């Protein structure tokens, strides 16, 4: 491959920050990238690459041409929070006009961007003397010549310039856009033919930790990922409706295992974070049985259950100095997620509850889950929760739910659940 460098574009949102804040955030990303590369490829890779930066950009290249391993860089950078997009590039001196023109023309044609259809973008930063119109004419002229000769081997060795079928970036399925570009910074020219969409957001660890309630379904892992995208390293909590009883072992195993598989995917995005994520499993079958006994006739079983989950999450917040609880609720999607019922849920705890998917519709969640890599897990069949009432209320009242909770003795079940908390490595 002709590529010997990666051009990294930061999230545009950084540009509205003060210069001091922007520099701090960019330094934060650099450190995350270095830790992620070390974790994924070992410290040897860092010894072979060099970094240089300007505002809004990071350029990473290999010191020696024979050491070039762009795939390893794309695999890590492509899924790193705080990065808007990346482009594998050919880096050369802008003074070597022959190389710039030749590589640009051949790279575009190899990516199926014909001379009659492409419009190459050239940007020059701190290089006012560069004659951009002349450079673009020369690239167009050479690409026309190669195309007329049908890209003969003498004119064009396609194997060096061929388009990759797919860049591997772990679970992340970022879109790849064919986009011919030359970015000139001082004396350096970076020639690329594609932009790989990265997650964007803020670097992981920039925000305080939060507790993320994660199930084996579609919504909660997507919500946790969105919180991570804004810089929060989560403490993951799985609520397992099994306390070791034999009767529901198969169902409980599916709940627990699907949730842990979702978390396994999410953890792939945390490589490079200063703090590794923590994972807890909380069994609560005894509490669930009580909620069914006292709440099913009133249609409030799900409200009792979710309020209990919030209480468990809040206690874990206190344990790890987390600043909020992240859940996958979507306004109106289920009976327990009407505006009135969400108020009932929130009243169970003092800690703020964050719902990143609040305004999403299901198609948008499916698209996001497919992009981040959790969709295949959500499609695995599992037995529905046994606690869902036949006629769940959509207009719960706080005082009615609290009256039922007094009969149940919530404190006893909460202490029981927390004493059996399992930390998963």
Res. 117: pLDDT tops 60: no
pLDDT interval class at 55 (50, 70, 90): confident
Query: Could you give the percent of the chain with pLDDT greater than 70?
Result: 93
The boundaries of the domain holding residue 397 are 210-424
Whether 138 and 99 share a structural domain: yes
> What does the pLDDT read at residue 9?
96
> What does the pLDDT read at residue 157?
59
Residues 159-174 have a mean pLDDT of 81
Residue 204 lies in a domain: no
Whether 95 and 172 share a structural domain: yes
Q: Mean of the per-residue pLDDT values for the chain?
A: 89
Residues 123-132 have a mean pLDDT of 87
- Pick the last residue of a domain from 197, 223, 258: 197
Whether 191 and 224 share a structural domain: no
Total domains in the fold of the chain: 2
Whether 108 and 219 share a structural domain: no
> Residue 315 sits in a domain of what CATH number?
3.40.50.620
> What does the pLDDT read at residue 243?
56
Whether 276 and 351 share a structural domain: yes
Residues 102-121 have a mean pLDDT of 78
Residue 258 lies in a domain: yes
Three state DSSP letters for the chain: CCCCEEEEEECHHHHHCCHHHHHHHHHHHHHHHHHHHHHHHCHHHHHHEEEEEECCEEEEEECCHHHCCHHHHHHHHCCCECEEEEEEEEEEECCCHHHHHHHHHHHHHHCCCCCCCCCCEEEEECCCCCCHHHHHHHHHHHHHHHHHCCCCCCCCCHHHHCCCCCCCECECCCCEEEEEEEEEECCEEEEEEEEEECCECCCCCCCCCEEEECCCCCHHHHHHHHHHHCCCCEEEEEEECCCCCCCCHHHHHHHHHHHHHHHHHHHHHHCCCCCCCEEEEEECHHHHHHHHHHHCCCCCHHHHHHHHHHHHHHHHHHHHCCCCEECCCCCCCCHHHCHHHHHHHHCCCCCCEECCCCCCCHHHHHHHHHHHCCHHHHCCCCCCCCCCCCCCCCCCCHHHHHHHHHHHCHHHHHHHHHHCCEEEC
Whether 159 and 136 share a structural domain: yes
Whether 164 and 50 share a structural domain: yes
Residue 202 lies in a domain: no
- Pick the last residue of a domain from 176, 197, 218: 197
Residue 147 lies in a domain: yes
Residue 205 lies in a domain: no
Residues 16-30 have a mean pLDDT of 92
pLDDT interval class at 345 (50, 70, 90): very high
Residue 171 lies in a domain: yes
Give pLDDT tens digits for 256-306. Answer: 999 999 999 999 999 999 888 999 999 999 999 999 999 998 999 999 999
Give pLDDT tens digits for 359-418. Answer: 999 999 999 999 999 999 998 887 778 888 889 999 999 999 999 999 999 999 999 999
Whether 77 and 169 share a structural domain: yes
Whether 138 and 219 share a structural domain: no
Give pLDDT tens digits for 231-256. Answer: 999 999 999 987 554 444 444 468 89
pLDDT interval class at 129 (50, 70, 90): confident
Whether 224 and 180 share a structural domain: no
- Pick the last residue of a domain from 132, 166, 197: 197
Of residues 145 and 163, more confidently modeled? 145
Whether 220 and 316 share a structural domain: yes
Res. 151: pLDDT tops 60: no
Whether 170 and 250 share a structural domain: no
Residue 203 lies in a domain: no
> What does the pLDDT read at residue 156?
56
> What does the pLDDT read at residue 67?
62
Give pLDDT tens digits for 172-216. Answer: 999 999 889 999 998 999 999 999 999 999 999 999 999 999 999
Give pLDDT tens digits for 30-44. Answer: 999 999 999 988 888
> Residue 18 sits in a domain of what CATH number?
3.30.2130.30
């Amino acid at each position: 491959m002709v590529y010997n460098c990666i051009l990294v574009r930061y999230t545009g949102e950084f540009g509205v920050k003060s210069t001091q804040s922007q520099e701090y955030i960019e330094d934060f990303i650099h450190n995350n990238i270095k830790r992620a590369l070390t974790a994924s490829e070992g410290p040897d890779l860092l010894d072979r690459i060099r970094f240089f930066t300007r505002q809004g950009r990071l350029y990473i290249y290999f010191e020696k041409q024979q050491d070039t391993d762009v795939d390893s860089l794309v695999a890590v950078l492509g899924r790193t929070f705080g990065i808007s997009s990346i482009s594998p590039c050919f880096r050369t001196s802008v003074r070597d006009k022959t190389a710039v023109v030749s590589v640009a023309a051949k790279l575009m044609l190899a990516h199926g961007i014909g001379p009659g259809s492409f419009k190459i973008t050239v940007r020059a930063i701190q290089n006012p003397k560069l004659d951009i119109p002349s450079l673009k004419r020369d690239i167009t002229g050479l690409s026309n010549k190669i195309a007329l000769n049908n890209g003969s081997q003498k004119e064009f060795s396609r194997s060096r310039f061929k388009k990759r079928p797919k860049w591997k970036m772990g679970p992340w399925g970022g879109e790849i856009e064919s986009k011919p570009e030359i970015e000139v910074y001082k004396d350096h020219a970076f020639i690329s033919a594609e932009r790989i969409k990265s997650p964007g957001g803020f670097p992981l660890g920039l925000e305080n930790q939060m507790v993320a309630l994660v199930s084996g379904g579609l919504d909660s892992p997507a919500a946790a990922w969105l919180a991570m995208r804004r810089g929060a390293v989560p403490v993951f909590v799985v609520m397992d409706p099994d306390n070791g009883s034999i009767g529901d072992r198969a169902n409980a195993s599916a709940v627990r295992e699907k949730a842990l598989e979702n978390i396994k995917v999410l953890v792939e995005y945390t490589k490079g974070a200063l703090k590794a994520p923590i994972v807890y499993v909380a069994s609560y079958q005894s509490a669930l049985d009580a909620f069914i006994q006292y709440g099913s006739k009133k249609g409030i079983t799900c409200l009792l259950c979710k309020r209990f989950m919030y209480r468990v999450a809040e206690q874990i917040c206190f344990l790890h100095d987390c600043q909020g609880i992240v859940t996958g609720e979507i306004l109106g999607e289920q009976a327990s997620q009407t505006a009135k019922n969400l108020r009932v849920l929130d009243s169970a705890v003092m800690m703020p509850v964050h719902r990143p998917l609040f305004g999403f519709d299901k198609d948008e969640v499916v698209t996001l889950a497919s992009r981040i890599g959790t969709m295949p897990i959500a499609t695995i069949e599992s037995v529905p929760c046994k606690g869902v009432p036949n006629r769940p209320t959509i207009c719960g009242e706080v005082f009615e739910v609290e009256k039922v909770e007094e009969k149940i003795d919530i404190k006893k079940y909460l202490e029981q659940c927390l004493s059996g908390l399992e930390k998963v490595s």
